[in-house]
Structure 1
């Protein structure tokens, strides 16, 4: 990832608009990133991943009934060899 000072980024925005198609650009101020300039494709990917993450949950928040339902779940009989792996010995 390329790092560029804020003033350089501002002065040469057109140049970085082209560079960002190949790699993200960290816009720096006083040695710290103040933001990241990414391509539209990368931004859309990040938004998609963010939306996927919002659909997750912590297993500690599951109710006992949900845990039991997951634990007792089995695949169809054509996958009995895999079901056997789930059986506690």
Structure 2
């Protein structure tokens, strides 16, 4: 659901309740500016954040598991997307 910031201010209670069920995008001058979501959804998103590690911080067991990892068959098509990709220099 998308609403203007003026509409959000006028209907805060109703739209805050709506955000418990679905994300409410708040726009300003026609551009997306904020998204209101429930605290439960926010917590779920925070838990799913990826954490970056330096290779030096990986254990031998981690490295072993990574070396044995396989891409699930349903994602095999992604190999085609990057087949000819070259990093920018």
TM-score relative to the length of structure 2 = 0.58
Match of 1:29 in 2: 28
Structure 1 distance, partners of 2:21, 2:44, is: 15
Question: What SS does the corresponding residue of 1:4 show, helix, strand or coil?
Answer: strand
Structure 1 distance, partners of 2:3, 2:9, is: 10
Structure 2 distance, partners of 1:62, 1:36, is: 35
Match of 1:20 in 2: 19
Structure 2 distance, partners of 1:62, 1:15, is: 48
Q: What is the CA distance between 1:32 and its match in structure 2?
A: 1.1
Q: Which structure's residues are more often helix, by fraction? A: 1
- Whether 1:70 and 2:69 are equivalent positions in the alignment is no
Q: Structure 1 stretches of 5 or more lacking a match?
A: 75-89
Larger Rg belongs to:
1
Structure 1 distance, partners of 2:17, 2:31, is: 23
Aligned residues: 64
Moved runs in structure 1, 4+ residues, more than 4 A? none
Q: What is the CA distance between 1:62 and its match in structure 2?
A: 4.7
Q: Structure 2 stretches of 5 or more lacking a match?
A: 69-89
Structure 2 distance, partners of 1:49, 1:35, is: 20
CA RMSD in angstroms comes to 2.9
